[in-house]
Amino acid sequence: MAQPKFIFTGTPGVGKTTAIETISEIPLIKTEVPTTDELAERKAMTTVAMDYGEFTLEDGH
- The residue ranges of every structural domain in the chain are 15-61
In DSSP terms, 45 is beta-bridged to 34
pLDDT, residue 61, reads 58
Tell me the pLDDT tens digit for each residue of 9-33.
998 889 999 999 999 999 998 888 8
- Write the Ramachandran bin of 10: left for phi over 0, alpha for psi from -120 to 50, otherwise beta: left
With a cut of 80, say whether residue 60 has pLDDT above it: no
The band of 47, judged by pLDDT with boundaries at 50, 70 and 90, is confident
